[in-house]
Structure 1
Amino acid sequence: MMTDTVFTAGIIGHRDLGGHAVDLFVQSRCHQILSALKIKYPEIRAVSAMSYGADAIFAQCAVSLDIPLESVIPFENFQSDFSGDVSHERYRTLRSRSDTETRLNFSTRSHRAYKKSMQWVVFKSNVVVAVWDGMKKGSTGGTWEAVQLCEKLNKAMIHIDIKRKTIALHFVGRGTGISGKAVTSGHIARVV
Structure 2
Amino acid sequence: MARIGITGHSNLTAASAPLVREALVTQLSLHHDRLIGVTCLARGADQIFARAVLDVGGSFEVVLPAADYRDRKVKPDNAAAFDELIGKASQVRTMPFEESNRDAYMAASEHVLSSVDAMLAVWDGRPSGGRGGTGDVVQAARERGIPVTVVWPEGAERE
Give the TM-score normalised by the residue count of structure 2.
Answer: 0.90
| Equivalent position SS for 2:62 | strand
2:77 aligned with 1:106, yes or no? no
TM-score for the superposition, normalised by structure 1 = 0.76
In the alignment, what sits opposite 2:151? 160
Identity, in percent, stands at 23
Output aligned runs, 1:73-112, within 5 Å.
Answer: 73-80=64-71, 81-85=73-77, 87-112=78-103
State how 1:8-157 maps to structure 2 within 5 Å. Answer: 8-17=3-12, 19-37=13-31, 39=32, 42-80=33-71, 81-85=73-77, 87-157=78-148
Distance (whole Å) between structure 1 residues aligned to residue 107 and residue 36 of structure 2: 20
Ranges in structure 2 where 5+ consecutive residues have no aligned partner: none
SS in 2 for 1:46: strand
Tell me which amino acid in the other structure corresponds to 1:84.
P
Q: Which amino acid aligns with 2:75?
A: S
Distance in 1 between residues matched to 2:36 and 2:4, nearest whole Å: 6
Structure 1 SS opposite 2:140: helix
Distance of 1:136 and 1:78 partners within structure 2: 24
> Which runs of at least 4 in structure 1 moved beyond 4 Å after TM superposition?
none
Native 8 Å contact 1:9 1:129 kept in 2: yes
Structure showing greater relative contact order (alpha-carbon pairs closer than 8 Å, 6 or more residues apart):
2
The CA distance in 2 between the partners of 1:161 and 1:68, in whole Å, is 23
The alignment's C-alpha RMSD in Å is 1.6
Higher gyration radius (CA):
1
**How far off is 1:165 after superposition?**
5.1
Partners of 1:106 and 1:137 lie apart in 2 by 22
Aligned residue pair count: 155
Tell me, yes or no, if the aligned pair for 1:72 and 1:117 is still in contact at 8 Å. Answer: yes
